[in-house]
C-alpha cells in the first residue's frame, strides 16, 4: 500500500509539471505594420493547436493545453482592424484543461501562429490586408523561433497524443454527402417493444443498413459520392462524428435515425420525421425527449462535454442558424417529397408536422447544410415491422438518395441528377 501511494504521488507530481499557468494576454493593433497581434504569455512550454472555420463562419480557434488554474473568461475587443473580438474561455479535454481563444474576424484574412521562448509565448498575427492565401503558420523573423502547431510536451518520458489539424479535401467536380448512421456499438439507440425473430429491433442496426444502401446508390452515380461516419457496428461519439465531418468540404450532411416515444400512450405515433437545426432547442415535450436521446453521448469517447449556455455556443448557434437554417429546411422539403413516393409514408404520415426543427449536436457541428431523418418509430408495431424489413430499408435509402439529388439539382443547374425507381416494398 505504501509503495502504491508513493507511485501515485510521483505520478501526481509528474502530472503537475506538465501544467502551465497563464501570465498575460495582450493585444496590439499594428496599423503601420499591417497586422493585429495577440500574445499569450505562459509560465512554461506546452502544446497548442489551431482550428480553422474562416471559410464558413469567419472565425478560428487556438487551443492551448494544460493551462491551470482556469482563467477568467472574457471578451477582448481590439480598437480597430479585422479582429472584431477575441473570446477567452476554458474547457476540459479528457486529459487536459484547455484554454481556448476564439478570433472573430470581419472577413477571411491571412494569419499565422507561432511561439517564442524565454519566456514562452504563443503569438497570433492577423493581417489587415485581405489579399493572398490564408495561412496558419509562417516562417517567423530571425528574432523568433517558429515551432509546429502541435509541439511535443517538454517531458520526454510521458507519451504524447499528437493532435493533427484536420485535412480537408473533396473530389473535383463531385458533390459530397456525409451520411451519419446514428448510434452504434455500445449505444444501441432506441429499441422496439416488438420482438421479430425472437429479438428486439435495435435502432443502430436499421440506421447502418439504410446508410450503407444509400451510400451504395450514391457511389454508383457519376457526379456524387458519400462517406459514412461509421461503416460497422462500432461506437462513435457525437464529438467524433463532428470531427469526421471536419475532414471534408461536404455539400450535405444526413444523419439517419429511428424514432421512439417516451410513453405507451404515444406508441400510435408513426411515420417519417425530418429535422433541421434550431439553436433555441425544442419547445414541445416529445421533441425535448428526442433531443435528449440523440444528444446523450456527446461528451463520451474522447469528446469534451460542452456547456451549451456558454456565450461561444450561443453565438455559434446564431451563426449556424442564419447560414444553414434555410438550407436545412429546403433539404427537408426535397427529402419529404421523395420519401412520400413510398406508399406507406404517404398513407401513414405522422400526425405531427413531418418537417420540424430542433437542436441536435451533429447538426450544430456540421459545417454544411445538415438534416436529421427519423425514418420511422421503432415503438410503433407497424413501423417497426417495416424498419426491420430489408426491402423497406432499400426503399427508404432510395427515397433519401432521390431527395438528395433533387436538392443538388435545385441548388446547382449544372448538376445532372440520376433518379432511381423505388424497389418493391414489403
In degrees and rounded to multiples of 5, residue 368 shows phi and psi of -170, 165
What CATH number is associated with residue 288? 3.40.630.40
Provide the pLDDT for residue 343: 94
What is residue 331's three-state secondary structure?
Answer: helix
Same domain, 278 and 344: yes
Residues 250, 381: one domain? yes
**Predicted local distance difference test score (pLDDT) of residue 269:** 84
Same domain, 113 and 222: no
CATH number (domain holding residue 23): 2.60.40.3500
Is residue 4 situated within a structural domain? no
Number of domains into which the chain is organized: 2
Same domain, 258 and 326: yes
Q: Which of 119-128, 160-169, 263-272, 348-357 has the lowest mean pLDDT?
A: 160-169
Bigger pLDDT: 252 vs 243: 252
- DSSP category for residue 132: S
Q: Higher model confidence: residue 172 or residue 356?
A: 356
Question: What pLDDT is stored for residue 265 in this prediction?
Answer: 61
Better pLDDT: 425 or 420: 420
The tens digit of pLDDT for each residue in 113-154 reads: 999 998 999 999 999 987 543 444 433 333 333 333 333 333
Q: What percent of the chain has pLDDT over 70?
A: 68
Q: Which domain holds residue 76?
A: 19-127
pLDDT tens figures, 80-123? 889 988 988 887 765 568 899 989 888 888 999 999 998 999 99
Q: Are residues 212 and 313 in the same domain?
A: yes
Greatest C-alpha distance within the chain? 76
Q: Which of 117-131, 307-321, 372-386 is predicted least confidently?
A: 307-321
| From 84-93, 116-125, 313-322, 344-353, the region with the lowest mean pLDDT | 313-322
Co-location of 93 and 239 in the same domain: no
Q: How high does pLDDT run on average in the chain?
A: 76
Q: Are residues 181 and 123 in the same domain?
A: no
Mean pLDDT (whole number) for 342-369:
73
Q: Is residue 123 within 8 Å of 115, Cβ to Cβ? A: yes
Q: What angle do CA 79, 82, 86 make, to 5 degrees?
A: 70
C-alpha cell at 401: 438518395
In a domain, 418, yes or no: no
- For residues 346 and 204, state if they share a domain: yes
Residue 96 has what pLDDT? 67
Amino acid at each position: 500500500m505504501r509503495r502504491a501511494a508513493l507511485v501515485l504521488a510521483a505520478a501526481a507530481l509528474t502530472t503537475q509539471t506538465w501544467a502551465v499557468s497563464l501570465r498575460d494576454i495582450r493585444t496590439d493593433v499594428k496599423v503601420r505594420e499591417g497586422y493585429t497581434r495577440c500574445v499569450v504569455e505562459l509560465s512554461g512550454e506546452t502544446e497548442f493547436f489551431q482550428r480553422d472555420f474562416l471559410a464558413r463562419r469567419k472565425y478560428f480557434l487556438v487551443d492551448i493545453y494544460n493551462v491551470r488554474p482556469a482563467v477568467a473568461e472574457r471578451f477582448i475587443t481590439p480598437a480597430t482592424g479585422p479582429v472584431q473580438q477575441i473570446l477567452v474561455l476554458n474547457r476540459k479535454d479528457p486529459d487536459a484543461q484547455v484554454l481556448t481563444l476564439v478570433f472573430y474576424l470581419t472577413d477571411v484574412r491571412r494569419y499565422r501562429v507561432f511561439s517564442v521562448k524565454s519566456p514562452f509565448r504563443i503569438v497570433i498575427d492577423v493581417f489587415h490586408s485581405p489579399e493572398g492565401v490564408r495561412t496558419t503558420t509562417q516562417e517567423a523573423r530571425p528574432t523568433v523561433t517558429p515551432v509546429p502547431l502541435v509541439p511535443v510536451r517538454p517531458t520526454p518520458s510521458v507519451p504524447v497524443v499528437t493532435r493533427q489539424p484536420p485535412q480537408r479535401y473533396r473530389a473535383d467536380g463531385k458533390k459530397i454527402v456525409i451520411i451519419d448512421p446514428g448510434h452504434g456499438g455500445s449505444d444501441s439507440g432506441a429499441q422496439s417493444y416488438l420482438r421479430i425473430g425472437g429479438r428486439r429491433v435495435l435502432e443502430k442496426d436499421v440506421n447502418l443498413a439504410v446508410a450503407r444502401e444509400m451510400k451504395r446508390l450514391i457511389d454508383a452515380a457519376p457526379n456524387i459520392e458519400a462517406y459514412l461516419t461509421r461503416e460497422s457496428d462500432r461506437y462513435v461519439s457525437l464529438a467524433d462524428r463532428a470531427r469526421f465531418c471536419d475532414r471534408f468540404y461536404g455539400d450535405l450532411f444526413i444523419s439517419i435515425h429511428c424514432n421512439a416515444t417516451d410513453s405507451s400512450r404515444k406508441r400510435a405515433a408513426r411515420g417519417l420525421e425530418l429535422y433541421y437545426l434550431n439553436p433555441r432547442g425544442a419547445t414541445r415535450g416529445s421533441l425535448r425527449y428526442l433531443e435528449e436521446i440523440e444528444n446523450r453521448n456527446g461528451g463520451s469517447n474522447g469528446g469534451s462535454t460542452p456547456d451549451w449556455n456558454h456565450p461561444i455556443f450561443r453565438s455559434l448557434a446564431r451563426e449556424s442558424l442564419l447560414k444553414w437554417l434555410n438550407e436545412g429546411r429546403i433539404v427537408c422539403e426535397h427529402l419529404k417529397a421523395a420519401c412520400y413516393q413510398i406508399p406507406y409514408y404517404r398513407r401513414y404520415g405522422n400526425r405531427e408536422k413531418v418537417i420540424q426543427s430542433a437542436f441536435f449536436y451533429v447538426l450544430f457541428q456540421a459545417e454544411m447544410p445538415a438534416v436529421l431523418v427519423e425514418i420511422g418509430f421503432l415503438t410503433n408495431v407497424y413501423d417497426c415491422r417495416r424498419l426491420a424489413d430489408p426491402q423497406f430499408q432499400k426503399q427508404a435509402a432510395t427515397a433519401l438518395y432521390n431527395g438528395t439529388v433533387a436538392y443538388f439539382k435545385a441548388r446547382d443547374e449544372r448538376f445532372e441528377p440520376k433518379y432511381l425507381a423505388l424497389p418493391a416494398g414489403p
